[in-house]
Structure 1
Amino acid sequence: MKIPRQVVNQAWFEERGLYSKRELEDGLWLYTFFTLVGAVLIFAARFLPQGRYQSYFEAAANQGLGPTLWDAVGLPGILLLGLSIVCPALINAGRASKALLEGAFGIGAAMTGIILGGFLIQAPDIYLSKGVGSLLFWGTVGIVGLSCIAMLNLSTWCLAKLPHANPQFSTWLGKLPSVQRVLLGLSLICVGIVSFVTQA
């Protein structure tokens, strides 16, 4: 007996609450906004006259570059998301996870803008001192790196939307065998713990 092939498409994701075009568009707009905020910070730190305001923006940009703040906000969000999947009755854990992951999303997007703005500021110096070949090389490296950061950060946004924004997801999750649901949640918890231990 031939088993019909299951087509995984937009309708499949929508039925399970794993895809929403509107939410994805909202995430892209928010990502663009926070990226521009980060770029404004680094440009203000670079081009404002020396003084109190310039120092303020420079300190803000430097703090935004480190991954520590993202880890401090995002990793607890991943842990709580795993906990809410293991124990769906813990509604407050899911809500806290959503808030933390959305905060990490904003931090990561601002970091993207700071890195991008910093490269644009340094690009003329790279060109003048090392030539167009070096500029193209580092530009390619930057594009690949920023693309990876953007994909990871948008994944954070998607994770933040799972517990409560999509009731279908909760329904689909409830239909999963308990073993699969617990393993899924524990895998997220393990990712959060291992990441925290290695970053601490």
Structure 2
Amino acid sequence: MAISRYLESRKNIAGSVCGLAGLGLTFAGVAGPYWPVVVAGLYGAGALVAPPERPAPPDFPDASAQLDAVRADFEKLCGYLAEVDLPPAAAGALTELTELLGALLEPGWVTDPEDVHLLSRAVRQDVPEAVDTFVRTRWWARMTPGQEPPERHLERQLGLLREEAERVATALREAEARRQETHTRYLQDRRRP
């Protein structure tokens, strides 16, 4: 394996090219009786001057593979959210948010790594933390009445998360509209003589 790797390396290829040049000099009569030294020297010089091999970059999963994992986590999140008892306003905001996240997670829509990261963070961290914090705080709020109800914080958090998801959806809609307009212009231009 190491021998085949060296045979395909830049150093060997550069050395071989220079060695062939040395053979050319030998056949031209320039090297004389020292031709083996000339050929070996040129091979060595070519191998020394060749750029070093670069290690291959790490093979990270692409956006679609990452989204597959986020989709699986989204299903787990939906199972968790189905068991949580929320006030009607927060439950409605959560339903709207999860429907939007579910639509964005459909295959073929989100491809930008930044958007994948935003969806991943929303599904794996932001939504579960907001709901779990509400559930825990609601229990303590019974002990200390008179403070701002935890439902309001939850509703604001879910609203902010929905705004983030809507920005992604808006960008996708605009990109698709531009794509459609571009294709229409292309077809119109193709018709003209």
TM-score by length of 1: 0.31
Of the two structures, which has the highest relative contact order with CA contacts closer than 8 Å and spacing of 6 or more?
1
> Which structure shows the bigger proportion of residues in helix conformation?
1
